[in-house]
Structure 1
Amino acid sequence: MKITAIEPIVVSIPYRHDGPLTGFGGTVWSKLNYLLVKVSTDDGLIGWGEAFGYNAIPATVAALDKIVSPLAIGRDANDIVQLMEDLKRPLHIFGRNGPVIYALSGLDIALWDLAGKRAGMPVCQLLGAGSRRSVTAYTSLMRLHEADIIATACERALERGFQRVKLHEVTIPAVAAARQALGDDVELMLDVNCAWPADEALRMAHRLEPYALKWLEEPVWPPEDVAGLARLQREANIPLAAGENVGNAWAFQPLAESGALDYFQPSITKVGGITEFRAVAELARRHGRAVAPHSPYFGPGLLATLQMAAVYSHIGGIEIFGVQLEAGLFGDVGLPGPDGEVDIPQSPGLGCDPDPEIVARYRV
């Protein structure tokens, strides 16, 4: 079946969370912006993908419209792995990370959605797995800064049924407030978004050891400092996680070979979609490492990540963004229940299409 159209659709949805307005990438987010990728084929089917995202959306839309789509439209949608390889080779001169790869990620996810729909089964079963019907979620809080606000947010996370909480803070008092609010039995993770040069990261890691973190995420700046991460792994008694800023499976190789990471964190909307995510997951398995996907999404990127959780048993949990949208693209599908578990959709493809009324209401 041939690809007949590729359409980027931007939705901007108001949200609330347990703190004042905040954000990432140097801006404050009053709404959450998502880039959906709608792919049509000549058999009348539609597949949905998601491309990263947030502040990068204008660049990703341009890459999808002007660079990726002209090469992909008219191509056979059935052999996804070969098609993605054929697209990556001529496009590598524009970067193996960033908007072009984000655009390819959205296309790839949509093509797997189409493949599952055409076969009449969820993607996980199409890939030969799928016995796992749910996965434990952890709530991933936005950066809140103030100790009292962090404590309140952690208490509310417990009330919502979460037994795993991730912070995006960079100070010891913030982590201390969270641990005190959560108690000793709740898993606590810390993502500092590449905050420190390696020497400072090591000093901070030692100071964080008393708080029993499940992992310290992206501690080192720049994120490409594999030697710095490996040194941290050797000298600090704290598990390390990273990978959301790694643009493809080959770029994970040095991290795997160095032994720097306990948790690989590919982001399905950034790394090349389901096809490339699978390669990263297999690499992690060969090196005896867990996978903790980066997935602060509420669109097809989240559903695709859930399908991967059904395929790969070394995915121990799923990241759920710690916000509440004014309206969800899939209703309750993909959201955790009161026990902190997320059901993995079992309908064909990714398991659910975006609600057209919600898309129309919030479309930019």
Structure 2
Amino acid sequence: MHHADPSLAFEVQRLDVFVFRAPADPPVQTSFGIMRDRPAVLLRVRDAEGVSGWGEIWCNFPIVGAEHRARMAAYYLRPQIEGRRWDSPQTCFRALSEAFAVLAIQCGEPGTLHQIVAGLDVALWDLLARRAGQPLWRFISDRKEAACAPIPVYASGLNPTSPEKLAATKLAEGYRAFKLKVGFGAARDDANRHAMREVIGPDTPFMVDANQAWTLDEALQAGRAMQDHGLDWLEEPMRADAPLRDWERLAREQPLALAGGENLAGVDAFHAFSASPALSVLQPDLGKWGGITGCLAVGRLALERGKLFCPHWLGGGIGLTASFHLKAAVGGPGYVEVDANPNPLRELLATPQFALRDGAVLLNAAPGLGVEPDLQATRDFVVGAVEI
């Protein structure tokens, strides 16, 4: 898309910020922490004609972080965005990223600032696609298919406590690929992998996610120990900020394909990993860095470099729906992550609910994201609308 395209110009009259928390039953367990409730921070932008767009800011950790991100969005985004005309979301994304660069260093919060810009970017693209009367995937795609192909998904967030029970439920619902949390001790991880295979069968796509649990040596040992389980990938086995040479050694010296990207930020980081043999699967999170603008570029880069493009998401329904549209726009092989755990903010913050059939999601043809938050139904989960 060319930046002079008039369909991409916009002026936001108002930005609203909403915070939600819903109970997590059961709690979501990772190797580094437990989520006892499910937060969501939504942004709504509205133009002078009354057209709105929705975005979502990643806010799972720290546990107390959702309210802080909402205040940051209200305080720092409003004066930058309200009443100002932009020629495209890409221009806005670059300008805000630059405007916040020194602040990010000064306050030690580059992540928070990346996240509020990312959530805003999604909202802007939703607004523009709605204004154009097109589904978001078609509005941002280089390919102009008449209909959206089904988007393969996998059931994610399978906790280390009896994961096979949740997997059986999700299998019955139509999921055809699964990802298990590991990093809870070799014996427990091994027992869970065996239990999962018993339920999903020998040929069902099956991945594991260690959430940065191990050192390089531990990751090498774990990868070798898991080679007989037919795993499609091993996700974030060690710290995401480990040197690229360590990731390349890990890819070389153990048999499993490596996945990562949810904790990468910036074009340079994705360029480095896409050019390297270290990661076979790139997983940017559009609520954490990049929004549609950044992650669309990453998706295209992944396809050029022969990587699997699998957007990461573990939050509310707006971010999930945006991830579907992102994947549909990029095309190519790969999946979108869908949290298998109960979360009313996934369904109520994006109505109508997505349709799942035989392991894939079918998007509706409505403009923009094609969904709206049901603010009335979520009133019991509202922490507040943020006014600064």
Q: TM-score, normalised by structure 1?
A: 0.91
Moved more, 264-273 or 52-61: 52-61
Aligned partner (choices 94, 97, 114) of residue 85 of structure 1: 94
**CA distance in structure 2 between the partners assigned to 1:113 and 1:206 by the alignment:** 44
Aligned to 1:336: 356
CA RMSD, 1 decimal: 2.1
Using the alignment, how far apart are the partners of 2:171 and 2:70 within structure 1? 38
Which of these residues, 366, 371, 377, is aligned with residue 347 of structure 1?
Answer: 366
Report what 1:36 is aligned to. Answer: 42
Alignment match, 1:166: 179
Within-5 A mapping of 1:177-196: 177-196=195-214
Distance 1:225 1:164 in 2: 30
Following the alignment from structure 1 to structure 2, what is the Cα–Cα distance between the partners of residues 261 and 198? 15
Equivalent in the alignment of 1:138: 154
The DSSP-based 3-state class of the residue aligned with 1:357 is: coil
Letter of the structure 2 residue corresponding to residue 275 of structure 1: T
Say whether 1:67 aligns with 2:76.
yes
Q: State the Cα distance separating 1:119 from its structure 2 match.
A: 0.6
After TM superposition, list the pairs within 5 Å mapping 1:350-361 onto structure 2. 350-361=369-380
Cα 1:222–1:112 shift into 2, 3 Å: closer
CA distance in 2, matches of 1:62, 1:213: 41
Q: Is the 8 A contact 2:274 2:302 kept in 1?
A: yes
- Equivalent in the alignment of 1:322: 340
How far residue 199 of structure 1 moved from its aligned partner, in angstroms, is 1.4
Name the counterpart of 1:47: 53
Task: Using the TM superposition, give the Cα deviation of residue 77 of structure 1 relative to its aligned residue in structure 2, in angstroms.
Answer: 5.0
Give the conservation status (yes or no) of the 8 Å contact 2:240–2:264. no
Deviation at 1:252? 1.1
Q: Percent sequence identity over matched residues?
A: 27
Contact 2:19/2:67, CA 8 A, preserved across alignment: no
Matches for 1:88-107 after TM superposition, within 5 Å: 88-93=97-102, 94=104, 97-107=110-120
Map 1:1-364 onto structure 2 (within 5 A).
Answer: 1-16=10-25, 20-24=26-30, 27-54=33-60, 55=63, 56-93=65-102, 94=104, 97-128=110-141, 129=143, 130=145, 131-144=147-160, 146=161, 149-170=162-183, 171-326=189-344, 328-337=348-357, 339-364=358-383
- The question of whether the paired residues in 1 share the 8 Å contact of 2:17 and 2:43 is answered with yes
Question: What secondary structure does 2:85 align onto?
Answer: coil
1:313 positional shift: 1.7
Separation in structure 2 between the aligned mates of residue 260 and residue 308 of structure 1, nearest angstrom: 24
Rounded to whole Å, the distance in 2 between the matches of 1:187 and 1:352 is 29
**Equivalent residue letter for 1:9:** F
Q: Would the alpha carbon gap of residues 334 and 279 (structure 1) be closer, same or farther in structure 2, given more than 3 Å must change?
A: same
Q: How far apart, in 2, do the equivalents of 1:235 and 1:292 lie?
A: 24
Structure 1 runs (4+) deviating above 6 angstroms are none
Superimposed CA distance per residue, residues 122-181 of structure 1 (whole angstroms, 9 cap, x where no aligned partner): 11221243533421221103423x4xx122222222222222110112222222222233
Q: 1:40 Cα shift?
A: 1.6
Query: Is the contact between residue 18 and residue 41 of structure 2 (CA under 8 Å) also seen in structure 1?
Result: yes
Q: Deviation at 1:229?
A: 1.2
Given the superposition, is the C-alpha separation of residues 285 and 63 from structure 1 closer, same or farther in structure 2, using an over 3 Å criterion?
A: same
Q: Deviations over 1:268-321 (max 9, x none)?
A: 101120000011112212211110110123321111111112211225221110
Q: Report how many aligned residue pairs link the two structures.
A: 357
**Paired AA for residue 362 in structure 2:** D
Note closer, same or farther for the CA distance 1:184–1:253 as it changes in structure 2 (3 Å cut): same
The one-letter code of the counterpart of 1:8 is V
Deviations 1:50-77 (A, max 9, x none): 0111233133223212222221222225
Inter-partner Cα distance in structure 1 for 2:70 and 2:86 = 21
Conserved 8 A contact 1:72-1:87:
no
Contact 1:263 1:291 in 2 (8 A): yes
Residues 331 and 83 of structure 1: CA distance in aligned 2, closer, same or farther (over 3 Å): closer
Structure 1 306/3 Cα, relative in aligned 2: closer, same or farther at 3 Å? same
| Letter aligned with residue 92 of structure 1 | A
| Counterparts of 2:101 and 2:300, CA distance in 1 | 23
Paired residue secondary structure (1:89):
helix
Change (3 A) 1:247 1:322: same
